[in-house]
């Protein structure tokens, strides 16, 4: 297991406040386009595919690792990954609470919420 890192607090704005509020409540949201139906991440007001309006959609918080890298030269090693969510979009996040030598592409993961340095929660993933 890796040593815990200092997680920087998220900076919310009008487009992302609902996302961070949901994270604090232990829920992972993505945006879904009302016109084309495509889900996407990072949250934004307009769909990146067709510029249609969007709405929030709660996910099951699960997905699989598409790609990852382990940073071992940092004071506390950490793993970053692109996670392909079951809900559709791919998001970049950290893989936590596991042996970094056992992380694999295609591995199933689920969201966990880690406290940042100001107490707000940040979504990360751990193996299922």
Q: What tokens were used for 47?
A: 């769909």
CATH architecture classification, 17-127: Beta Barrel (2.40)
Average pLDDT of every residue of the chain: 94
Contact 43, 55 (CB under 8 A): no
Residue 32 CB partners (closer than 8 Å, separation 6+): 38, 39, 40, 54, 55, 56, 57
Domain parsing of the chain, residue ranges? 17-127
Residue 40 has pLDDT above 70, yes or no: yes
Question: Is 112 a residue whose pLDDT tops 70?
Answer: yes
* Cα–Cα distance measured from residue 90 to residue 63, given in angstroms and rounded to the nearest whole number: 9
- What is the torsional sign of CA 104, 105, 110, 114? positive
- Unique residue bearing structure tokens 């299922």: 128
């Amino acid at each position: 297991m890796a040593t815990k890192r200092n997680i920087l607090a998220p900076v919310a704005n009008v487009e992302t406040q609902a996302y961070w509020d949901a994270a604090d409540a232990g829920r992972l949201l993505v945006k879904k386009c009302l016109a084309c139906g495509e889900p996407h991440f990072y949250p934004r007001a307009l769909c990146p595919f067709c510029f249609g309006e969007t709405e929030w959609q709660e996910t099951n918080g699960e997905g699989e690792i598409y790609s990852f890298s382990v940073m071992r030269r940092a004071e506390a090693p950490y793993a970053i990954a692109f996670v392909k969510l079951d809900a559709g979009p791919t998001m970049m996040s950290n893989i936590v609470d596991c042996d970094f030598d056992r992380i694999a592409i295609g591995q199933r993961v689920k969201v966990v919420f880690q406290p940042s340095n100001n107490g707000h929660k940040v979504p990360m993933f751990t193996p299922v």
